[in-house]
Structure 1
Amino acid sequence: MLGYSLRRLLIGSGMLLALSLLTFVLLRLTPGDPIDAYIDPNVPMSPADLAALRTRLGLDQPLPLQYLAWLKQALAGNLGYSIKRFDQPVLDLVLSRVGPTLLLMGSAILIAILGGIAIGVVSAVRRNSLLDVSFSIFALAGISSPAFLSALIGLYVFSVRLRWMPSGGMLTPGANFSIGDLLRHLVLPASLLAIAQAALITRYMRASLLEVLSQDYVRTARAKGVYEFWVITKHALRNALLPVVTLIGSTIGLAIGGAIFIESVFNWPGMGLLLVDAVSARDYPVIMGATLVIGACVIVVNLLTDITYAVIDPRIKVG
Structure 2
Amino acid sequence: MLSYSLRRLLIGVGMLLALSVLIFVLLRLTPGDPIDAYIDPNVPMSPSDLADLRVTLGLDQPLPLQYLAWLQQAVMGNLGYSIQRPDQPVLGLVLSRVGPTVLLMGTAIAISIIAGIATGMISAVRRNSVADFSFSVLAVTGISSPPFLSALVGLYLFSVYFNWLPSGGMQTPGREFSIGDLLHHLILPAMLLAIAQTALIMRYMRASMLEVLNQDYVRTARAKGVYEFWVITKHALRNALLPVITLIGSTIGLAIGGAIFIESVFNWPGMGLLMVNAVENRDYPVIMGSTLVIGACVIIVNLLTDLAYAVVDPRIKVG
C-alpha distance in structure 1 between counterparts of 2:116 and 2:72, whole Å: 44
Residue in 2 that maps onto 1:156: 156
Residue in 2 that maps onto 1:123: 123
C-alpha distance in structure 2 between counterparts of 1:162 and 1:123, whole Å: 31
Residue in 1 that maps onto 2:76: 76
Deviations 1:197-226 (A, max 9, x none): 000000000000000000000001111111
Offset at residue 40 of structure 1 (A): 0.4
Offset at residue 317 of structure 1 (A): 1.3
Residue in 1 that maps onto 2:146: 146
* SS class of match (2:173): coil
Residue 264 of structure 2 corresponds to residue 278 of structure 1: no
Offset at residue 309 of structure 1 (A): 1.1
Residue 291 of structure 2 corresponds to residue 291 of structure 1: yes
C-alpha distance in structure 1 between counterparts of 2:228 and 2:310, whole Å: 28
Read off the aligned partner of 2:238 and give its amino acid letter: R
C-alpha distance in structure 2 between counterparts of 1:192 and 1:2, whole Å: 38
Read off the aligned partner of 1:43 and give its amino acid letter: V
Read off the aligned partner of 1:284 and give its amino acid letter: Y
Deviations 1:73-110 (A, max 9, x none): 00000000000100100000000000000000000000
* SS class of match (2:127): coil
Q: List, as ranges, runs of 4+ consecutive aligned residues in structure 1 with deviation greater than 2 Å.
A: none
C-alpha distance in structure 2 between counterparts of 1:245 and 1:209, whole Å: 13
Offset at residue 176 of structure 1 (A): 0.5
Residue in 2 that maps onto 1:245: 245
Offset at residue 130 of structure 1 (A): 1.1
Offset at residue 288 of structure 1 (A): 0.2
Read off the aligned partner of 1:228 and give its amino acid letter: E
CA contact (8 A) 2:35 2:54 kept: yes
Residue 80 of structure 2 corresponds to residue 56 of structure 1: no
CA contact (8 A) 2:307 2:318 kept: no
Offset at residue 310 of structure 1 (A): 1.6
Read off the aligned partner of 1:272 and give its amino acid letter: G
Deviations 1:169-221 (A, max 9, x none): 00111100100000000000000000000000000000000000000000011
Matches within 5 A, 1:72-221: 72-221=72-221
Read off the aligned partner of 2:92 and give its amino acid letter: D
C-alpha distance in structure 1 between counterparts of 2:126 and 2:193, whole Å: 27
C-alpha distance in structure 1 between counterparts of 2:266 and 2:124, whole Å: 35
Identity of aligned residues (%): 82
CA contact (8 A) 2:97 2:269 kept: yes
* SS class of match (1:167): coil
Offset at residue 29 of structure 1 (A): 0.4
> Normalised by the size of structure 2, how large is the TM-score?
1.00
CA RMSD for the aligned pairs? 0.4
* SS class of match (1:83): coil
C-alpha distance in structure 2 between counterparts of 1:261 and 1:143, whole Å: 16
> Normalised by the size of structure 1, how large is the TM-score?
1.00
Read off the aligned partner of 2:252 and give its amino acid letter: I
Residue in 2 that maps onto 1:302: 302
CA contact (8 A) 2:100 2:270 kept: yes
Gaps of 5+ in 2: none
Read off the aligned partner of 1:214 and give its amino acid letter: N
Read off the aligned partner of 2:306 and give its amino acid letter: D
C-alpha distance in structure 2 between counterparts of 1:314 and 1:126, whole Å: 29
Read off the aligned partner of 1:84 and give its amino acid letter: Q
Gaps of 5+ in 1: none
Read off the aligned partner of 2:151 and give its amino acid letter: A
Aligned residue pairs, count: 319
Offset at residue 38 of structure 1 (A): 0.3
Offset at residue 122 of structure 1 (A): 0.4
Read off the aligned partner of 1:129 and give its amino acid letter: S
Residue in 1 that maps onto 2:231: 231
C-alpha distance in structure 2 between counterparts of 1:131 and 1:106, whole Å: 28
Offset at residue 151 of structure 1 (A): 0.3
C-alpha distance in structure 2 between counterparts of 1:133 and 1:32, whole Å: 53
CA contact (8 A) 2:82 2:88 kept: yes
C-alpha distance in structure 1 between counterparts of 2:29 and 2:314, whole Å: 48
